[in-house]
Amino acid sequence: MNRNVLVLSEMKGFQIRNVSIEGLAAAKKAAGEGKVVTAAVGSKAEQHANLLSQYGADQIYIVQNKELDEYHPDLYFQAYVQLIHEINPDVIIMGHTGNGRDIAPRLAARFDYGLIGDCIDIDVDCDNKVVLTRSVYSGKLFEKKRFTGDKGIITIRPNNIAPVENPGRGEIVPFTIEEAPLRTLIKDIVRKAADTVDLSEAKVIVSGGRGVKSARGFTLLKELADVLNGAVGASRGACDAEYCDYALQIGQTGKVVTPDLYIACGISGAIQHVAGMSNSKVIVAINKDPEAPIFDIADFGIVGDLFEIVPVLIKEFSNALLSPAK
């Protein structure tokens, strides 16, 4: 069976989020010989058509509308409902982001689609059904799921499905939405970390725990993160101690992240923290206690005082990144 798959592309600022590009790779797998369609919304939507085409979109719906520059639950819902009526996809894919988590269940309820969320892999089985892999029990097990019906919505966890370049000549389809009265109004948007790399999509995360000892200690971690073009994360211990904002918390009750490199500084490795980062590709732990549980899951461990080690890392990485490639 060939499926038509719709990827609802998401913007951060005026950039397409990586997870939407990863969504196109997932869509390609699910579609088989079917069509991969995507939709980009906002006043700069058209600028992204080439990128979306380069990563495998056969058709790109452009909803050029300034009102959609910021996520608005009602307005986005209206736009997506109209797109779905128009495209009639078998499968819809979106990022497991704040927006995705908000709107996917509403769309599933509206169209009576199944919903499988927070997927880290996608495949098609011998019955030609889409099979999704999810990480459960804090990353200790993987489960495979499929829809009982023919239609479904999938949200994918950022940084898990590799983007695949698949240059084609995606057809651009301008699409105008009919706006109905809104039931809610956004008065203000307060951004806590506007100038930093997005934690959920970061390739490198430098994370601090109670061992960082102060908000000032976190500026050292930020310095290392900046050198590596990464983001700063934190344990709940550090957030509770008010060294940083809860927006940075990683773990069971914080964000789940899967960067290429996770550097844990002064974090003991409590199970609730590990739940949010154990699927990182490479884990480096810096802790002065050689018995700290974080070393059980670390690929590389440095036993010592983070205030001595992190400055050395900053210096070494800066030198390495500045020196010309041999």
Q: What are the residues binding ligand FAD (CB under 6 A)?
A: 209-211, 235-238, 249, 251-254, 266-268, 270, 272-273, 276, 286-289, 292, 305-307
- DSSP notation for 68-106: GSS--HHHHHHHHHHHHHHH--SEEEEESSHHHHHHHHH
Q: Angle 73-87/98-111 helices, nearest 10 degrees?
A: 50
Give the nearest distance from C-beta 145 to ligand FAD in angstroms: 24
Select 155 or 235, whichever has its Cβ closest to ligand FAD: 235
What is the C-alpha separation between 14 and 5, in angstroms, rounded? 24
Select 108 or 248, whichever has its Cβ closest to ligand FAD: 248
Select 165 or 289, whichever has its Cβ closest to ligand FAD: 289
Give the nearest distance from C-beta 226 to ligand FAD in angstroms: 20
Select 54 or 138, whichever has its Cβ closest to ligand FAD: 138
Contact, 26 vs 93, CB < 8 A? yes
Give the nearest distance from C-beta 189 to ligand FAD in angstroms: 25
Select 3 or 273, whichever has its Cβ closest to ligand FAD: 273
Give the nearest distance from C-beta 100 to ligand FAD in angstroms: 20
Select 186 or 215, whichever has its Cβ closest to ligand FAD: 215
Secondary structure letter of residue 148 according to DSSP: S
Give the nearest distance from C-beta 70 to ligand FAD in angstroms: 28
Distance of CA 199 to the CA centre of its chain: 8
Select 9 or 280, whichever has its Cβ closest to ligand FAD: 280
Q: CA dist 196 to 82, 222, 233, 322, Å?
A: 34, 10, 11, 22
The structure tokens 């290392």 sit at: 224
| Nearest 10 degrees: Cα torsion 105, 69, 175, 177 | 70
Count other Cβ atoms within 10 Å, centred on residue 66.
Answer: 9
Which residues make Cβ contacts (< 8 Å) with residue 69, sequence separation at least 6? 11, 14, 42, 43, 44
Give the nearest distance from C-beta 239 to ligand FAD in angstroms: 8
Select 59 or 235, whichever has its Cβ closest to ligand FAD: 235
Secondary structure letter of residue 210 according to DSSP: G
- DSSP notation for 286-305: EES-TT-THHHH-SEEEES-
Give the nearest distance from C-beta 160 to ligand FAD in angstroms: 19
Pairing of strands 11-12, 15-16: antiparallel
Q: CA dist 271 to 38, 71, 149, 227, Å?
A: 38, 33, 36, 29
Give the nearest distance from C-beta 195 to ligand FAD in angstroms: 24
